[in-house]
Amino acid sequence: MVVTRSAVDDDAAEGAKHADQGRGEEQRGKRGDKKDKKQRGQNTARQFGSSKDALQLCSSVAIYNEFEAKECRFGDKCKFEHNLRKYLSEGKRPDLETFKICPIYEARGKCNAGWKCRLVSTHSEEKEHPDGRKELVLKEDPERIAKLQTLKNADDEELGNEVGNVNVVSAQAKIDLNRRKTKTPKSDAYLEYLNKCWEQDHGKEGGPQPSNTKAKDARDDHRASYISPPLLPSEKRRLYYGPETPVLAPLTTQGNLPFRRLCVSLGAQVTWSEMAMSLPLIQGNKSEWALAKAHESEATPPAFSAKNTVVDNYDNGRDMKFGVQIAGNKPWNVLKATEVLTALCPHLRAIDLNCGCPIDLVYRQGAGSALLDARGKLEKMLRGMVAVSNEVPITVKIRMGVKDNEPTADRLVERVVLGSQDARASGEGPCGVAAITLHGRSRQQRYTRSADWGYISETAALISRLHKQQAELADTANDVDPRHLPNGGKVYFVGNGDCYSHADYHSHMDTHKVDSVMVARGALIKPWVFEEIQANQYLDKSSSERLRYVEDFVRFGLETWGSDEMGVGTTRRFLLEWLSFACRYTPVGLLEHLPPNIQDRAPAFRGRDDLETLMASDNYRDWIKISDMFLGKAPESFKFEPKHKSNAYEAEG
């Protein structure tokens, strides 16, 4: 087998999801006319084809036994198939042979895909009645169904199909958001307060600014205007970060629920959703709300060692692993998104504001890394989020700055930890943010070159000095009101960038004095990096062990997206997205020196067995072969376009 190595575009890892938003079809097609020119760069308008059966089975038949099908409300005008046996013999592809039993049936006692399931043979049979008639029936497991019925949402068909997942928002709630029926009283009150502050500061006719005493009175009046005053930072649920809590980064596209579930099973202690845009959230967008969904394993408490904690009153039993990251360009949409998230999603460790996304479209809208140069607006956003998030802590993720060689994160961190000078003078105090994550790259740098851990170390030292400064002000005229301090006065600091092994992790913890380390691409290339961190040693995984992780991902994917043709297609697509990173892994046993560097690209090599060679290939066709092992041969309509155009692929029947 010949294995080729092509250039890898890691900017695409974050950009693909949002890059084609706002561009018309005409614009998208302009560059595709010249077929004689080799495509390069990032695929910004990728197409994946469709995954559907040759014959579409009517919903009046799909989930019922053969003789119990419902009457179709469309009658003779229905365009879908009603003959079950014809559908099974001619309308759908052969069943998968990967699993002995359908993962959904195994977990829930029945499969909501019914006859459309690609493993329907594992939960169906043909029964012969006393009169000689033979009926195709779907099996059900009464014991598993009984457990399902005891769950809180079992009476809701949509939520009942999400057994094992948390933060599942009902269709009606999303409809209410879309129709602007959902009230956001806390956000409305805070935004009104911001408007009054602006009018007082500027004056409708350019009047003088109010004194600090008046500003404090205005803040107290604002807090009193709530029917139930918002929780102060000190009253929120407390967080903990330590050596035993490695963090899985929010990963666009790849940070989906099945992948996070895989990482949790391998030792990840904190997980984040993919970045969700605030405006689509408050508009009830289904795909955006799907990002807030998590597996029940992510709702369990993270690892905790009492001897390491510096947070008073931290209750590990109330903590959990999963948090949601949002992005927005205006205080109003960020505040409203925070309020509805905390109202509709009960299993949130924290809500993180993304101030580091380098994607051009997000940046041009004033969100993501654009907020690094809008410190005043960012402070308003964070204070507002703290005011409306109930007991859920607020965190923020930033980059070093917008431009290379012009880092600004130190000034931003000081403002976030202490508050602006005006806020301190008026007694408003710190922003109330519970944790800050710093990615050691600038926006201009994107994902090129190594992360600057020297700068991260300097920022960690700065935060330590700021904590001491606050402590020294205790019992003085400038003492900060302890009610405005999260985590008993401790703002956690997490470093992010190029962590690829336990050696990197512990080096950053010991040398750079961060509270924890966030792992991004390192987890995509080898998810067992969390196992290495726990074991504090390199783990030379065999090809068969790595293939089992692929099998686990497929199982989790089918449980998440469904076991019908569409669910199988979605699982295949996201599996291939992950394999486009996993193929970069070079086994520890083949390396000349340690620790490995995530920026290194090994030349083509032959593995210790054929499977290892196959899994090391960056040829998209080999990724397809791996997916075929678990999901069967890809249908003719299936397309896969890697994020790098030089690897573009379209299935050949």
pLDDT tens digits, residue range 65-77?
999 999 999 999 9
Q: Which of 329, 599, 578, 302 is nearest to 440 (CA)?
A: 599
pLDDT at 489: 82
pLDDT at 20: 41
What is the share, in percent, of the chain residues with pLDDT greater than 90?
A: 68
pLDDT tens digits, residue range 259-296?
999 999 999 999 999 999 999 999 999 999 999 999 99
Residues 232-252, mean pLDDT to the nearest whole number: 93
Contact 566, 52 (CB under 8 A): yes
Contact 433, 395 (CB under 8 A): yes
Query: Confidence class of residue 35 from pLDDT cuts 50, 70 and 90?
Result: very low
Sequential DSSP letters for 228-277:
SPPPPGGGSPPP---TT--EEPP-TTT--HHHHHHHHHTT--BEEPPPEE
pLDDT at 471: 76
- Quote the CA–CA distance of 531 and 529 in Å, as a whole number: 5
Taken as a whole, the chain contains a residue count of 653
Residues 442-449, mean pLDDT to the nearest whole number: 91
What is the share, in percent, of the chain residues with pLDDT greater than 70?
A: 82
pLDDT at 17: 54
Residues 130-134, mean pLDDT to the nearest whole number: 93
* Ranges for all domains in the chain classified under CATH 3.20.20.70: 232-535
Mean pLDDT of the chain: 86
pLDDT tens digits, residue range 272-281?
999 999 999 9
pLDDT tens digits, residue range 209-224?
555 555 555 555 555 5
In this predicted structure, the answer to whether residue 60 has a pLDDT above a threshold of 60 is yes
Contact 587, 576 (CB under 8 A): no
In this predicted structure, the answer to whether residue 640 has a pLDDT above a threshold of 90 is no
Return the beta strands (E) in 393-491 as ranges: 394-399, 435-439
pLDDT at 22: 39
**199-213, 565-579, 627-641: lowest mean pLDDT where?**
199-213
Higher pLDDT, 15 or 139: 139
pLDDT tens digits, residue range 229-238?
778 888 899 9
Query: Confidence class of residue 476 from pLDDT cuts 50, 70 and 90?
Result: low
Q: Which of 58, 355, 357, 431 is catalytic?
A: 357
Region 232-535: CATH code: 3.20.20.70
Tell me if residue 263 is catalytic: no
Q: Which of 402, 403, 404 is nearest to 357 (CA)?
A: 402
In this predicted structure, the answer to whether residue 33 has a pLDDT above a threshold of 50 is no
pLDDT at 38: 45
Which residue type occupies 462? L
pLDDT at 474: 61
In this predicted structure, the answer to whether residue 30 has a pLDDT above a threshold of 90 is no
What predicted TM-score, i.e. pTM, was given to this entire model? 0.89
pLDDT at 202: 66
